[in-house]
Structure 1
Amino acid sequence: MQSKQVILIGGFHEVIEQVLALDLELMAIIDNNKTGEYYGIPVLGGDKEAQTKLERFPNSKLIITPDSGNIRRLLFEEYSRFANNFFTLISKYSMISRFAEIGNGCIISQNAHISAGVQIKKFCKVNVGANIMHDCVIEEFSTIAPNAVILGNVGIGKNCYIGANCTILPNVKIGNNVTVGAGAVVTKNVENNKIVKGIPAK
């Protein structure tokens, strides 16, 4: 039987609630800024102590929780030196097509909607109420903020942050390391390493 024990890397409270709503056993949190207990969950310490502390939990899977894709990537690189047991967390209140693909280590939050043909690569985070429509591809370590709407056949590169309540129109391609501001409407392609905002986004 597959273990239902999980440990959070980062004490992100929305993720704590999401885990507790599922048939999972939240064993502990690793967080550099917390001690004792957090929401009643024991805190093992920070990242520097993690390798030693995790030896006590050989059956637990790890969930990397921060919103920032950059931080998730750095944590993945650090923890993958001694662990390969990362968990994909999907809220039971999300709606995901049977024809969508969700990569390892992703977090899909409550009321997110992911349509047919969508590919979400590893360690992405899709926040509360986000809508990703048909045939979109979201590359690894990207974050989709609450209530963002990504229309059909959009491509989003690695390590992007798509802001809350923004809309990306069909067929738009967004490069790597792009930030889209909250409430923006993206009507055309965006090159790598850009920050865009406004209506239309520029």
Structure 2
Amino acid sequence: MAYRSQIRGEFIRRYSECKAAYLETSWRMIHERDVKHRALNTEFGYPEPDGSFGIGCKSSVDQEYKRRYDEIESRFRKPYDDQLPALHRWALENSMSVYECLLMDDIWDDDLKALAKLSTMEEDWQFQPIIAKARFMVARWKEEHVVGEIQRRVKIESSHFHYAAARCRNLLGLKPWDLAAQKAIFDYGKEWKSALEFAFGSLTAA
């Protein structure tokens, strides 16, 4: 794998830890906000049709209620919205490569954890992380779909790589004249499509 050195095991492990912390913090903020909104609806007597008290805004006419509802929302919104950019800032500050960026793109949390675990199992990062990600993806599809549908999804995933490439260029701030990075994106795309085909072939050969 020509670009194996562009995917660092230590980076994957630390990214996995940071993303887990980001998710935990984000869900905690959502829970705390929802508790406060539900308590406000209870206090002002704005129940749901079934008599329970939910978290949605129930009045734009009751000015005191609306003021307090919006105050709760704004208190949590900015810290919540900053969680993902903070994760991206960490990745950039730790010199995330094009290959690392694309490997982390749109990856399931369980697959990220599995990659992090795999990175500790062989010396010098000898396993192939791109193939591993493809295998995880195909294995998940296998749990719910027949072979024909899995094949269709493999083709869709391959044809949609340009979306991942665009997200990578945006996140890394790449310009058209960053030729080495643009070539790395092209090369990764070829490896990713080959990995998907290999994972599907392994599935059908089993």
Instruction: Report the TM-score when normalising by structure 1.
Output: 0.25
Which of structures 1 and 2 has the bigger CA Rg? 2
More helix by share: 2
